[in-house]
Amino acid sequence: MSAECRRRWPWRQSIDGPFAPRRIEMLESPAYRVLSLSARRVLDRIEIELAHHGGKDNGKLPVTYDDLAAYGIERRAIPLAIRECGALGFLEVTHQGRGGNAEFRSPNKFRLTFRHLDRAKPTDEWRRIQTIEEAEAIAQTARVSRKTKPHPKHFPRGENANFQGGKPPRKRPTLRGETPSTGSGGKPPLLSISGVPVSDHSAQAPRARAPEGGAVASERGGQVWPGNGASRLGSGAAFADRCSIAEQKRQDHRRLRERPVRSRVKAALETGRVMHVLAIMSEADLPSRNAADGLLFKMHHEGEVERVGRGLYRLRRAPAVAES
């Protein structure tokens, strides 16, 4: 600064050393206000790398995981923070790095969207987010780890899974006289040890009834008491009726068990804002992600909630009544 400028503006001060400018518009934006601490440290470290390159090479800034970990970010939080910065529009990964031996590994290369790219102006993708609710939903979705996979022994997770309370689905009971392959059919013929079919006398002669408290002599020389499994099960039709009644009782019990859970989900969504499945799980105290997806999917089809996007829900708005 010349001596004439100092005489004209004596209050103006200069910054001694390199600095990283950030616009007040960006600092006040909803996307910047919802950034986590790890995401802000990622932006700070990449801006430091840009300053080390003399303010140039934006879009070709190599920053490794070791650089970010040395700056104070936990290593397990680094990929989530990078994904959060990219989803909110502050960062772009121009080159996806990879690990390996010394001659094959390469670091990630980044571009800051709020800084100039050579002679081009900043793109400022963070401006497309207009509200805090939208920014929180995007950041919550980006912070979810992609490495969570369902166990192969469990039934699949997802919004199309039925609500089972975290338990695997029950198998349909097979009726007497049915096989798993056909599902229906007659009773298979009895075979002796030599492979010769044995005639079934039970189909020709009716079985004798036992008196009260007594036993019936079987054809093979034994006695069949009324309290054993054969007399309790009865015919196949009666057993099928018992199975259908038991299944109906299980469904009624499941509906009663879902009522307080649905009330907690509705109470969490009463604010009218868009919420992610993970936020609904924490506020409604749901046991698992699978149970939350299944219940929200069912409530969506029954008209209680509205699905805004992938994993985003809110209460269904009442239709506007036209004034006559």
CA atoms of 238 and 210, how far apart (whole Å): 19
Q: What is the pLDDT of residue 272?
A: 73
CATH topology of domain 238-315: Arc Repressor Mutant, subunit A (1.10.10)
- Looking at the DSSP bridge assignments, the partners of residue 63 are 108
Percent of the chain predicted with pLDDT > 70: 63
Whether the pLDDT of residue 112 is over 90: the answer is yes
Mean of the per-residue pLDDT values for the chain? 75
Q: Write out pLDDT tens, residues 248-303.
A: 777 666 665 667 788 888 888 877 778 888 888 887 777 788 878 888 888 888 88
Q: What is the pLDDT of residue 230?
A: 44
User: Which residues does 30 contact at the CB level (< 8 Å), separation at least 6?
Assistant: 129, 130, 131, 132, 134, 135
Q: What is the pLDDT of residue 306?
A: 84
Whether the pLDDT of residue 155 is over 50: the answer is no
Q: How far is CA 133 from the centre of its chain?
A: 20
The token duo for 294 is 């299944």
Residue with tokens 């805004």: 308
Whether the pLDDT of residue 24 is over 90: the answer is yes
Whether the pLDDT of residue 312 is over 90: the answer is no
Q: What is the pLDDT of residue 233?
A: 46
Mean pLDDT of 128-148: 86
Highest mean pLDDT: which of 84-93, 164-173, 228-237?
Answer: 84-93
Q: Where are the domains of the chain?
A: 17-142, 238-315
**For 115, what's the count of Cα atoms within 13 Å in the CB-facing half-sphere?**
26
pLDDT band of residue 44 (cuts 50, 70, 90) is very high
Q: Write out pLDDT tens, residues 62-106.
A: 999 999 999 999 999 999 999 999 999 999 999 988 887 777 888
Percent of the chain predicted with pLDDT > 90: 31
